[in-house]
Amino acid sequence: MGGKVMKNEERAQDGLVLEAKNITKRFPGVLALSNVNFRLIKGRVHALMGENGAGKSTLMKIIAGIYQADEGDIYLHGEKVSFHTPKHALSHGISMIHQELSPILDMTIAENLFLGKEFCKGKLIDYKTMNREAAVLLEKVGVDLPPGKLMKELTVSQMQMVEIAKALSYDAEVIIMDEPSATITDREVAGLFRIIKGLKEEGRCIVYITHKMDEVFKIADEITVFRDGQYIGTYDAGEIDENELVVKMVDRELTEIYPARSNEAGDVVLKVENLSQEGVFEDISFELRKGEILGFSGLMGSGRTEVMNALFGITQPTSGTIWVNGEKMDKPRPGKAISKGIGYVTEDRKGNGLVLEMSVYDNIVLPSLGKLSGRIGAINRRKAARVAEEYKEKLDIKTPNMQQMVKQLSGGNQQKIVLAKWLLQDPDILIFDEPTRGIDVGAKTEIYKLVASLAKEGKAIIFISSEMPEILGMSDRVVVFYEGRKKGELAREEATQEKIMMYASDVDEGGMQ
């Protein structure tokens, strides 16, 4: 497919660093890339946009030496290259920050940063030098952590910042950033943008993949769009707006991103009184009603997820009371919460929501094997296959077949599989923790419609999100957290971005903290 080429093409060619031409890549049952093109110019940030499954990460993994193209060529400074391993690509100045973090948890930050390129004195690792150099890198990305701290002691946000520092440690000419801001705070995003600006000034090439539209127009010089594994076009960031970009990504207008809702809330189905977990959150109280979407807002680390973990029994509260449909739930455990009609779509779909090495079918039916078994305990495979197929169709899960391994699907389709397994349980109360994180605008709209339809059916929904438009667009009421405390509660008609941020930042109307 053709697309608009930048007006300053002749000037751009003078600084051409890398060019991918006519790249095709096939996986079993999937044509991931079909004859796509891409190029990078010295000292520019190039955003790569498209829905999940469009082929963005696949192309970047080919450039970074993780995959090899079936057809097509890559040129670096005009010379044809083919990278067979990530190390080979690194030796030619190409570094990649991956969407899926893979730290070695029992090693220190410094050991992770310099894995494979340790500082040595003779045959021994020079930990003093390595820690000193690690501290320099951490300071560069604005992270105040001791280099000797174990990775398993870090938050996901801190791990992501260490991964960014690691990419910078290679002093690469081409730096590929695949969803680098998905799990970091607004302050850390601002720091990341400062780093990118500095890298631009040094003449580096940055590839920036994200689903956050506001980031694209803040940081990108040019934008390339892929759709369904095909190249749509490359555009100057100043010559395309958000609406045009969305249309090119999804090939349709998204006139109503958030569905209109008119149903009224019913009886209280969940009541939380003075719930506390020592050192984590304190004195949390709220009510959730049938047919209601209750938004939970607050800055990352404010305690929203921790409260849900305690409510579901993943961790144990130290005090407080939980009532489900008028019955007190003592010592919550996941099994008990499920039996009470509570479902929990967790923030980390890969770590807690899916078994990545298992099939689509297995992941959907696994939590419901009891419901799908007969009297003697044998699984009714015909029934299980039927319901799995039913939810595949209902949620429009795009997969070559039901036996496809989940790890081979896009983030949006993986999230739909998590939703399918919980919907099969038919819970009365559903907790959605960052349900649209890392998925594209088209898949987000589908999830919004699904959540709204569940509320219309009478399900009670808790909707946690770090994205302000989602909170405002989806919630009937909004509970706002700050540092482990409930700071405010707003009805739909009074909730504004300004009011929510005042509570989330613990700022009063006079602007004082």
Determine the Cα–Cα distance for residues 33 and 177; give it in Å rounded to an integer: 19
Contact 266, 458 (CB under 8 A): yes
Q: Alpha-carbon distance 415 to 409, whole Å?
A: 10
Confidence label for 256 from pLDDT (cuts 50, 70 and 90): low
Q: What percent of the chain has pLDDT over 70?
A: 92
83: three-class secondary structure by DSSP: coil
3-state DSSP call for residue 79? Answer: strand
**From CA 373, how far away is CA 144, in angstroms rounded?**
52
Q: Let me know the angle formed at the C-alpha of 110 by 109 and 113, rounded to the nearest 5 degrees.
A: 85
Q: Residue 494: which CATH number?
A: 3.40.50.300
Q: Are residues 337 and 431 in the same domain?
A: yes
Q: Give SS3 for 415.
A: helix
Q: Which of the listed residues 156, 177, 197 is the one where a domain comes to its end?
A: 156
Q: pLDDT category, 142, cuts 50, 70, 90? A: confident
Residue position matching structure tokens 């730290």: 103
Identify the pLDDT of residue 67.
Answer: 94
If one counts every other C-beta atom within 10 angstroms of the C-beta of residue 136, the result is 11
pTM greater than 0.75 (yes/no): no
Question: In terms of residue numbers, what domain contains 38?
Answer: 1-92+210-251
Residues 232, 305: one domain?
Answer: no
Residues of the chain above pLDDT 90, percent: 43
Residue 5's pLDDT is 42
**pLDDT tens, residue by residue, 367-392:** 777 777 666 567 777 888 888 888 88
- Using one digit for the tens of pLDDT, what is the confidence trace for 147-188? 999 998 887 778 888 888 888 888 889 999 988 887 777 778
Q: Three-state DSSP class for 121? A: strand
106 and 239 co-located in one domain? no
Element housing 434 (H / E): none
Within this chain, do residues 241 and 127 fall inside the same structural domain, yes or no? no
For residue 77, the surrounding DSSP H or E stretch is: none
Helices (H), 297-440: 304-312, 334-339, 360-365, 381-394, 411-425
CA gap 37, 135 in Å, rounded: 39
Where a domain ends, among 218, 251, 284? Answer: 251
**Residue 460, pLDDT above cutoff 50:** yes
**C-alpha of 445 from chain center:** 15
161 inside domain = no
Cα–Cα nearest to 54, from 363, 351, 398: 398
CB 296 within 8 A of CB 463: yes
Residue that has been written with the tokens 């579901």 in this structure: 312
Residue 312: CB atoms within 10 A of its CB come to: 20
479 has which bridge partners? 296, 489
Check if the beta carbon of residue 222 is closer than 8 Å to that of residue 234: yes
Q: What sign does the CA torsion over 311, 313, 315, 321 have?
A: positive
CA atoms within 13 A on the CB side of 109: 28
Residue 114 covered by a domain: yes
Residue 264 carries which DSSP code?
P
Instruction: Tell me the sheet residues that pair with 71.
Output: 24
Q: Are residues 110 and 87 in the same domain?
A: no
Contacts of 323 (CB under 8 A, 6+ apart): 270, 271, 272, 273, 329
275 Ramachandran zone, left/alpha/beta (phi>0; psi -120 to 50): beta
In a domain, 413, yes or no: no
Please tell me which of 67-76, 97-106, 258-267, 436-445 the model is most confident about, judged by mean pLDDT: 67-76
137: three-class secondary structure by DSSP: helix
- Residue 64 parent element (H or E): none
Tokens of 14: 């003078």
What is the chain's percent helix, strand, coil content, to nearest 5? Answer: 35, 25, 35
Specify whether 35 is located in the same domain as 69: yes
Other residues' Cβ atoms within 10 Å of the Cβ of residue 104: 12
Considering just the CA atoms, what is the radius of gyration of the chain in Å? 24
Residues 30 and 127 in one domain: no
Q: Are residues 489 and 439 in the same domain?
A: yes
Mean pLDDT score, 120-132:
90
Q: What mean pLDDT value characterizes the chain?
A: 86
**By C-alpha distance, which of 439, 369, 368 is closest to 398?**
439
Lookup result for tokens 């290259």: 81
- 90 alpha carbon, distance to own chain's centre: 26
209 closest CA partner among 469, 444, 438: 438
**CA gap 67, 443 in Å, rounded:** 26
Choose the final residue of a domain: 251, 282, 306. 251
Q: How many structural domains compose the chain?
A: 3
Cα–Cα distance, 101 to 94 (Å, whole number): 18
pLDDT value at 4 more than 50: no
My answer on whether 447 and 336 are in the same domain is yes
Burial degree of 343 (CB within 10 A; 0-12, 13-18, 19+): buried
Same domain, 64 and 5: yes
Same domain, residue pair 138 and 84 = no
In a domain, 283, yes or no: yes
Question: Do 6 and 76 fall into the same domain?
Answer: yes
Least confident range from 85-89, 121-125, 157-161, 505-509: namely 505-509
Q: What distance, in Å, lies between the first and last C-alpha atoms of the chain?
A: 54
Query: Largest Cα–Cα distance of the chain, in whole Å?
Result: 73
The Cα–Cα gap between 18 and 428 comes to 53
